Structure 1
């Protein structure tokens, strides 16, 4: 028996032990108290599965950090990176290279509206940074409005835009960011009774925030088209269209953050396409553009904003902007998604298998307060009491109940993505019907641990 990378289980275990030893000696992990973690070693991956340091095969229902949309080790993307490395490993961004040009064309063809210029970055956070910089320079204004319950990245501007507790240690109140409440009917800030009220009241709140902050001071409003890490709260009908109208009314740039929701995750190329007629001025992307095989992100830019820099130098750049290996991976990813109908698969699996299956789980498990999602982008809101909606873990923290659930999922053979009291169901877009049903069965069993905490 050999693993997908060609090693035997014994070889993989020895390599994993050595890697873990070196990791604990020398690697500084993100978002972690270093002495309190025991990170899992991954030795191999293939499709929707990974293998841990003990040789266990795990169904990856996390897509790592919700980015391996095309699955692990897709042969066309691996081959494209290998071919590009043999031809041109790297080149400075001021020079034209074939891979970057073709990647920009493919992305521009798929972005909504006329977002036809692409600025490449190294990932999602710096895509957001540059989108905000462009908006500020274009408008001559500084403030940016961002919603609570959001995540936009870990760099200075992006983390201040973020509307979850990871912002708090980094926020000194001087970033020019103003937060507002977005729509979230299950935990409505507006005491709404249905989606129509939630849309109307959330838009009224946003317009009031604009009025009180001063429209002439606001450069941009940034929103995840469908918030990801914060809970996969699909905006109610009319909300994003209303935000677009407010931006037009007050001369504010609308930035759509599609870092997590883009490139097939929701069953369309971009999540904002689910909301007819809504086109942002700037669109930040990363993750699924090449499934993280080589780091890559970017900003798709409207003609009006692009024209601002026709005869005025844009004051920003990156040594690895449009890196040939990364953009070659993007070209192969986008072409494979198109040729293999991977996005259509995500839509189909979501509508036929995951959505109905998760709603069936909610009927059986008292710990599931709400099921939300679309495509292969779902969240389970876990609660101690369905009537009071008391969360299974506090906002900004974890709990023994959530830790037990994660352990039960892993024992069942599954990797999951959790945040506070939520379990996110986010397999790769290539997930098969059989794999999706297998994952649902594993969740059904693991959720028994969460049920034990209901009413306690």
Structure 2
């Protein structure tokens, strides 16, 4: 710690940050990042001793909480034994991480290609699909987020694509199901499912099935607002893919490893994709790691044909050690089951009770420890509390709501007109209650901004 003695106050930390750190998704001179001094469990704190209950799990990845001692110890042990080695070697900790992941993925997704994070996982999944099929096009939903690298950001459907959109050849967007704001004028989940599948089928037909390599979907839409698909939708997409020889890719970067109360969100609907991307919760973000779980048929494509892709740090030993410890601990401590109980018994009922008290809450949706409140100006018309992609003064109501959360000691994850509730899967019941109490007060601020 002596090496950081000059950083033992927030001013020194913030001065160095302003001088040298270039932050993502930000106008650099318009931000004032909080200086974080430490974290443990479901909390982090600043240099002034202010503690924040983290309802964002950092960026929805600290599934096992901050500083879990078993994961920290595993990283330390691996660092003492072997910090790094090239990805071309067979290494015990990498092999064990892959085995533990493959044991939990659906059906025959038994091969794992490791990456450094979720965007790279999506990049490589698309590359595999194109090479496997010999086709160029990839379909993705408008309400989606798949990462910030070249292909992934063009697959992304939300507004973060706008500043990066290079009209990547072969990317086609379509409307996925979202009954609350149905683009299909549906009035029931069954209608929404049927009409969304018909729209997807039409998109495939008019793009030319023989040119479509893959359909890429978030199993539960994360950044777009915790969009839980209606019953039958994922099975319907699977059927469309099978009929047209299209690779089905499920993006589980945000929802894998217990987030929705199952090891993978696909397990809720008993659907198996051809490729499944993961990151974040695989080791709770302690060391960067992501990957692609690969079906037998696609793995066979590259049995005697070299796969033209690789990463210097693929399956880094420290990251894999963190993954082994995280997965093992989650299994031993029943953390996936805890996430499911927290959603069913605490978060779901608690958030619905808040919605009943606050007219600014238009809809509550979610699973496990992954929920969203849709905030509106008018519950009758469902007009969002702020416009799509709002910034500056237009986003003032959401900024005021987020500020009220922080003043109450809760760190929120807001996106557009929504707050996403994604605490660690290990959150204690008393902390859920505290978080709901803080949200109750902050929602009064949102109520005051209604039309």
Once the two structures are TM-superposed, the CA of residue 55 in structure 1 deviates from its matched residue by: 1.6
Query: Where in structure 2 are there 5+ consecutive unaligned residues?
Result: none
Structure 2 counterpart of 1:333, from 313, 326, 329: 326
Q: How many residues get paired?
A: 446
Structure 2 counterpart of 1:54, from 33, 48, 56: 48
Contact 2:154 2:168 in 1 (8 A): no
C-alpha root-mean-square deviation of aligned residues, in Å?
A: 1.2
Correspondences of 1:414-429 after superposition (within 5 Å): 414-429=410-425
Query: Where in structure 1 are there 5+ consecutive unaligned residues?
Result: none
User: How many Å separate the matches in 1 of 2:42 and 2:166?
Assistant: 41
Match of 1:410 in 2: 406
Match of 1:138 in 2: 132
User: How many Å separate the matches in 2 of 1:394 and 1:76?
Assistant: 44
CA offset digits 1:22-54 (Å, max 9, x no partner): 000111000001111001111100000001232
Structure 2 counterpart of 1:380, from 373, 376, 380: 373
Structure 2 counterpart of 1:226, from 220, 223, 226: 220
User: How many Å separate the matches in 2 of 1:142 and 1:42?
Assistant: 45
TM-score normalised by structure 2 residue count: 0.98
CA 1:12–1:68 in 2, change beyond 3 Å: closer, same or farther? farther
SS of 2:260 mapped into structure 1: coil
Correspondences of 1:205-224 after superposition (within 5 Å): 205-224=199-218
Match of 2:364 in 1: 371
Instruction: Flag as ranges the 4+ runs of structure 1 deviating above 6 A.
Output: none
User: How many Å separate the matches in 1 of 2:239 and 2:257?
Assistant: 25
Structure 1 counterpart of 2:175, from 181, 198, 211: 181
Match of 2:152 in 1: 158
Match of 2:230 in 1: 236
Contact 1:13 1:53 in 2 (8 A): no
Once the two structures are TM-superposed, the CA of residue 393 in structure 1 deviates from its matched residue by: 1.2
Once the two structures are TM-superposed, the CA of residue 14 in structure 1 deviates from its matched residue by: 3.8
Out of 444-453 and 13-22, give the one that drifted further: 13-22
Contact 2:151 2:168 in 1 (8 A): no
Once the two structures are TM-superposed, the CA of residue 16 in structure 1 deviates from its matched residue by: 2.4
Contact 1:149 1:164 in 2 (8 A): yes
The answer to whether the aligner puts 1:343 opposite 2:339 as a matched pair is: no
Contact 1:13 1:54 in 2 (8 A): no
Once the two structures are TM-superposed, the CA of residue 15 in structure 1 deviates from its matched residue by: 3.0
Contact 1:224 1:258 in 2 (8 A): yes
CA offset digits 1:309-365 (Å, max 9, x no partner): 010000000000000000000000000000000010000010000000000000000
Once the two structures are TM-superposed, the CA of residue 169 in structure 1 deviates from its matched residue by: 1.7
User: How many Å separate the matches in 1 of 2:288 and 2:400?
Assistant: 33
